[in-house]
Structure 1
Amino acid sequence: MAGDEAFRREIREWLADNLTDEVRGVGGPGRENEAFPQRLAFARRLAAAGWTTLAWPVGHGGRGASLAQQVIFHEEYARSGAPSRVDHIGTTMVGPTLMELGSPEQQRRFLPALASVDELWCQGYSEPGAGSDLAGVTTRARLDGDTWVLTGQKVWTSLAHVADWCFVLARTSPPDQGGPRHRGLSYLLVPMRQPGVTVRPIRQLTGDSEFNEVFFDDARTSRDLVVGRPGEGWKVAMATLAYERGAATVGQQIGFQRDLDDLVALARGNGAAADPHLRSRLARASVDLTVLRSHTLRTLSLDTPPQANPSVVKLLWTRWRQGLGELAMEVLACGAPVADTERWQRLFLFSRADTIYGGSNEIQRGIVAERVLGLPRGDRR
């Protein structure tokens, strides 16, 4: 459509005018600490131009962009080499959740700062004994007058060391005897910069430490900073996860295509492409990525996407990316070390985590088995 093409020109021109070499291509999985102050400044420049809240309704300060325009934005952002976003947890997860389920007071308090990237957020879901099994969280919150008092531990908390706020899934009452374990959970908005909150970086295989352990030792938050009703946090948490896997996944796949193109060029340069087996695997990776993109675009366009579609998409892209990392190691083995060897090693190492974070692939397969294939849940509640 003519309007969409004009929109594409608008974002291309804005990126051409505002993207600088100091932030071009920086950040991303395994590199979230890279040039962080510069990326934060760029995010705020995006916000001032109205790009961070592109998908938000106009009534909440957004542009009310169509799905097609959201896809165009994420495609062009990825193609330009713009930096990994530092505000994505806030603008793509917290903001939409508050618009759907938050109180008017919560919306007035938090949405403007989210839109301007004046406050950064992290996610307090996983725990040492409850990673993908969120119904098993043991972090507790009790009311003390007009405040919630939190005690417990979260883990794998991305960007907690720079976040101002955390949305925390905590147990505020025990589940019913014999009932589902997710009852009694609440979704709390907790300030990070206070006594009783301790953040400890976790060093990764890549050498970076972009995620953390977070300890709550009688940390506090206001009584009115529970989203939805106390005890109904599971519904809110699931809504947040659904927003996480939206149109931005298309931009992610543009980045995948760039990685694949660069690996093909490397294989041609060091002779690996002469190996029929490796050449076949590179071709298969290209076909699989095309299928992933087509599937994503098709399901995004549906008024009611299949219930388990986020799980299917995660299974597809995580296995694809791990496979690319493994293939990169075989391509590198065919020739002398190259200038960007570290890039491919980092991809290989960090992709080990792709099938674990955000809900492990085992959990995703269980969701597909139950919600698509109708298989029994077994002993899980």
Structure 2
Amino acid sequence: MGKGIKIMKIGGIRIEVDVSWFFLLGFFVLIIADSSVLQESNLNGGLIFLTALAITLIFFAGLLLHELAHTWVARLRGLEVDNIRLFFLGGVSNIKSEPRTPFEEFIITIVGPLTSALLGGLFLLVNLAVGAQAGVFYWATGYLAFINLIIAAFNMIPAFPLDGGHVLKSVIWAITKDNFKAMRSASLVGQGFGFISLAGGVFIALNGDIFDGILLAFFGWYLISAARRSYLQALGEKYLKNVAVEQVMSRPFAVIQPEAPINQLVFEFFMRGFKVVPVVENGYLLGLVTNNEISKIPKADWVNRRVMDVMKRRGSLEVAQLEDNLEETIKKLLLNGQPAMPVLNAERLFVGLLNPEDVGRYLRMRIQYGDKLPTSQPGGWNYPQPPQNNQPQNPYSGYLNEHGPQG
């Protein structure tokens, strides 16, 4: 999800809403306003809308309390909480620190459904106390009791990343004493539920109930993608924390000179499957160039235009050192939106390129070989060395003599 819209702070916790949340808000208001109870009541159109809006906002307040329960218990356990985000499929608590024990994960998780069940029970008690003679208020409390109890039950489905999936993970973790194995098992179960929901949604849609079918299929797709994403995050936390960029980056890597014509870049690199090409002179990085930059140049100009004219220049790029932490480097790469991360040695010479494919390959090897995979290079690599003479060298000799210093 992208950046949310901040609406308030509660107990130091930032509450945000995703843009998609407003569609859900409008959808609920319309559904409730169109209910037979409100339509057949003696309320006029404006009061029907306000009643539907009030019921919807109370419902979302219950969702917020559900997420706040997670965050408050997490903070009581000493874990850092960033924010709560409400979006199309409900809400999510961004607890930045991972639970340290199975019990901690269980207790942080279970309070959410318990809160929803408690709210459902309270609304049910009010509903029974006021009786049917209360009219619209009786119907509204019954509706809120029903939907909160449904949320409690739904969240306890053992499909990661739903609360029930986290509870399942905590149980497996307690039995196996292995957090990663527990995450992998819970993720597989979550993906299984997702595929069942996706198939069920398609079946329902093909049998005429298109809206409900699409909604169920969309939920299944969400479960599959969220479970996979959580598993990949767990993989990263297990295998990337104490790894240096040097161990994973691609090398040696093909480079191109800044004076080369664009047609050479296209035919010698992009047509051979390269996605990003470093622009290097005398061993020093000048920039990166991808096919996106080339697509903006008319084909007739490929012979006359040079690589330096279209490259993303060094000053606008994040770069890494050989010894940098891989996990932190990948975060910088994704945050900056770069196609790859150039890697420099101590002399600032270009020695390799780190891209998401490298990390994926490394993770697949770690999954296959586990701790048997070497954590250091067996023989070392011959990286380029800076010029050796008594005269100071301009690392960007040809390019900078013509164009001056670059950012």
Structure with bigger RCO (C-alpha 8 Å, 6+ apart):
1
TM-score normalised by the chain length of structure 1 = 0.29
Instruction: Compare the two structures and name the one with the higher helix fraction.
Output: 2
TM-score normalised by the chain length of structure 2 = 0.27
**Greater Rg, structure 1 or structure 2?**
2
